[in-house]
Structure 1
Amino acid sequence: MPKFQINRRTVLKTGLATATTLAMPPILRAADQVKIGFLAPLTGSEAILGIVQLQCYQLAIDHLNAAGGIGGREIVSITEDDETNAKSTIDKTRKLVAKDEVDLVLGTLASFERTAALSVTSRAKKLFIYPTYYEGGDCSPYLINTGQVPNQQIDPLAEHLAGKSVYVIGHDYIWPRGSTEQLKAGLEARGGRLAGAEFMPFGVSDFGPSFAKVKQANPDVVAFMLVADDAITAVKQYHSFGMTQPLVFHAWDEVSLGAVTPAEQAGILSSQGYFQQIDSPANKTFTAAFAEKFGADKPINYIGASVYQTAMLYAKAVEKAGSVEPEKVVEAISQVEVDGPIGTMRVEAETHHAVLPNYLARVNDSAKLEILKSYEPKPPVAGCKL
């Protein structure tokens, strides 16, 4: 098999990138570089996810620079580890903004990281793009949210679970709580109900007490709203405690698949904006390029693919704006869209949130996620306006 080749024609044809140096505005020709600060949890409890974010980001920068950069300007990347820690996130964001003088801060994972980074970028009037699904409600002039919000990710689950009773076990922070409220409303609108919910701190090693509460409530379905290492622990323990209810886990993705046995995860239902099995030319080219760079055994998940496509959207917005000035890029980003591995991505001007597709998938007996249903790009219910 020939090695995967990336060139300008491939990039433009497949939607892997949208930048072109043709007829570039003079303001872009005059400068040499675009500086992007990438921030992700590369250590700590979320490192298993942050590393995939970084890999997909690196691939995006490779592709953009191979295609001529952004408006003919080379992208210079500065990566920082936020250590899954709010204080570290603030410190690293300050470095990127004040010392490195980046044009864009891209990344972070959990909501507390986003909030910490935004506390720095908003004061500095620096553009910050958050590519991860979250609970909604964060609208700011210099913040662009390209990840899913609950109506895009949770409503398809509620539709699938119509008439069922569901018990939620999640982490105790705003994303699981906000997602649970969306699920509760969606269930009740469809003849179902929330049978109970429990939220806990990071680092739980024994889910037995929680599973005992589930048995007492006796719901039709159990939904996990856990992330990273705790998610793996909970799934490993689920059947060993004699749990029999079907398991819904909308954060279960390709990174999770290799962490537990096929028997432990068979039947898990997940709802996300991307799965590696999406059958589209853009995704096939993307996954082939990822395998070429990082190895065919390395997984790609939604938050990784979203980082990749978000970088492409930023590149297109900068070229549309003819500038890296935050105000001009913010205005331009709602005037462009980009097709890529997750499908079509565009941003609403009134909320700075993205219109995005969704996919419902189930883990089969071979520990593969099979897509059951695809949903067309849906406008966000952001929970805020500018």
Structure 2
Amino acid sequence: MGNPTARTGAPWRVGLLFSKTGITSVIEQTQLQASILAIEEINAAGGINGRELRAIHYDPGSSTAGFAQHAKRLMIDDGVTTIFGCYTSSSRKAVLPVVERLNGLLWYPTLYEGFEYSPNIIYTGAAPNQNSVALSQYLLKTYGNRFFLIGSDYIYPRESNRVIGELVRMAGGAVVGERYVGLRAQRRDFLPLMRECGQLRPSVIFSTVVGEATTHLYQAYADAGFDPRIMPIASLTTTEAEIGAMGPDVGCGHITAAPYFEAVDSDVNRAFVGRYKKRFGSDQTTNMCVEAAYFQVHIFARALAMTNSIETDCLRPMVLGSAFEAPQGQITINPMCGHTDLWTRLGRANGDGKFDIFWQSRVPVGADPYLVGYGAQVA
């Protein structure tokens, strides 16, 4: 494949695959903004070895087929070898064979279900051992052992619910219900599920609903008159972006596990949040997907500066094992699995549309995407 950046002084070209339209654009738009911010910062500092970093962005429209189509377009027509993008696991799995066949490098800044490895993907979002384990332990101890699982109907929610179900059962708990809704689910689709929760009285509703449907789930919960102090919705996917869309009053009191919240108390994070709001508006909030999309571009840039080659076979070995002071804290690309050693935090949404962090790990949690450290029952 010809590399259009081979000429000295020509821009380094990378691809961005995040949706500005469609059902998951509420979160993908924030990932796109974070990527743009990082690229602008790199260029303002002189680029990489004196060469500008230039992004080519296509909008997949939240369509799995669109992600595959545009990944091929980037790599074949545009000659790009590095792509930052994808939110849903379905979109990642659509792009995976493209980057493997054409030897590209996909940087994936989203939590996911684990149980995957590709030498052509750098995973910068949380794996289940970095969110599900701590969250399930806290919920079992604090609220009880009866879990009702609600998810969007695709790969990530089904696999994540399989993991959380095993963690709950290993601790002596029970899954009293497991239901799935379409990605375009409306508030009316959640009403029968809320009636079922009213009858079963679970200790916790565990949500792996994504996109616009998240708003409808939490609004249906509020309409049903449930109390998050007694039976909260706990999630891995509900960020500051979704809380903003549903309204802080609707989201208040519910729980999310994530490596990062806007409320992380550090100078590095406060400076990052300030730059993000200055660039995209004071009403914008950061979130875990924003933060991963941001720091992964900077890790890429550091590796590229050392290799001076954007070809995957040169770049990837330099990426593996690299560390970075991210807004969440010090993180490392784990050289054993291409995933990232991240922090684990639990947050409760407050009336301002943010999260109050009430627990966090003492050190970054090593990536364990196959849950090797948590028993064969989970695997």
The two structures have a TM-score, normalised by structure 2, of 0.90
Q: C-alpha distance in 1, partners of 2:193/2:175?
A: 16
> What is the aligned-residue RMSD (CA, Å)?
2.0
Report if the CA contact (8 A) 1:151-1:381 is conserved.
yes
Write the distance in 1 (CA, Å) between the matches of 2:6 and 2:270.
32
Q: 1:262 to 1:352 in 2, by over 3 A?
A: closer
Residue of structure 1 equivalent to 2:108: 130
For the residue of structure 1 that corresponds to 2:245, the secondary structure is: coil
Match of 2:353 in 1: 367
Paired-residue identity, %: 28
User: Does the 8 Å contact 2:263/2:354 carry over to 1?
Assistant: no
Residue 105 of structure 1 corresponds to 83
Please show how residues 188-203 of structure 1 align to structure 2 within 5 Å.
188-203=169-184
Of 312, 316, 335, the residue aligned with 1:330 is: 316
Whole-angstrom CA distance in 1 between matches of 2:88 and 2:205: 23
Aligned twin of 2:153: 172
Deviations 1:303-362 (A, max 9, x none): 111100000111122223342120121111113111111222222222111111121110
Partner of 1:308: 294
Q: Does 1:378 align with 2:365?
A: yes
Q: Which residue in 2 is equivalent to 1:227?
A: 210
3-state SS of 2:107 partner: strand
Counterpart Cα distance in 1 of 2:279 and 2:247? 27
Q: For residues 272-305 of structure 1, what are the alpha-carbon distances to aligned partners after superposition, in whole Å with 9 as ceiling and x for unaligned?
A: 1211111111111111111111111112111111
Runs of 4+ off more than 6 Å: none
User: 2:336 aligned to 342, 350, 362, which one?
Assistant: 350
Mapping for residues 1-386 of structure 1, pairs under 5 Å = 30-162=8-140, 163-205=144-186, 206=188, 207-244=190-227, 245-375=231-361, 376-383=363-370
Contact 1:28/1:71, CA 8 A, preserved across alignment: no
Checking the alignment, whether the CA contact within 8 Å between 2:14 and 2:83 is kept in structure 1 is: yes
Counterparts of 1:332 and 1:211, CA distance in 2: 49
Q: In structure 1, the residue corresponding to 2:321 is in which secondary structure? A: coil
8 Å CA contact 2:206–2:235 kept in 1: the answer is yes
Once residues 193 and 285 of structure 2 are traced to their aligned partners in structure 1, the CA distance between those partners, rounded to angstroms, is 30
- Hey, what's the Cα distance between the residues in 1 that align with 2:60 and 2:35? 16
- How far does residue 383 in structure 1 lie from its aligned partner after superposition? 2.4
Which stretches in structure 1 are left out of the alignment for 5+ residues?
1-26
- Structure 2: how far apart are the matches of 1:363 and 1:142? 36
CA contact (8 A) 2:183 2:211 kept: no
Q: Distance in 1 between matches of 2:126 and 2:359?
A: 17
Give the drift of 1:211.
1.4
- Which residue identity does 2:151 align to in structure 1? G
- Unaligned segments of structure 2, at least 5 residues: 373-379
Q: CA deviation at 1:153?
A: 1.2
TM-score (norm 1): 0.88
Task: Check the 8 A contact 2:148/2:197 in 1, yes or no.
Answer: yes
State whether residues 126 and 326 of structure 1, in contact with CA within 8 Å, keep that contact through their aligned partners in structure 2. Answer: yes
1:85-105 Cα offsets, whole Å, 9 max, x none, are 121111111111011111311
Deviation at 1:189, TM superposition (A): 3.5
CA distance in 1 between partners of 2:371 and 2:59 (Å): 29
Residues 130-178 of structure 1, C-alpha deviations (whole Å, 9 max, x = no match): 1111111221121111111111111111111125211111111121122
User: Residues 71 and 297 (structure 1 numbering): CA distance in 2 closer, same or farther, change over 3 Å?
Assistant: same
Classify the secondary structure of the residue corresponding to 2:343: strand
Judge conservation of contact 2:340–2:367 (CA < 8 Å) in 1: yes
Contact 1:29 1:72 in 2 (8 A): no
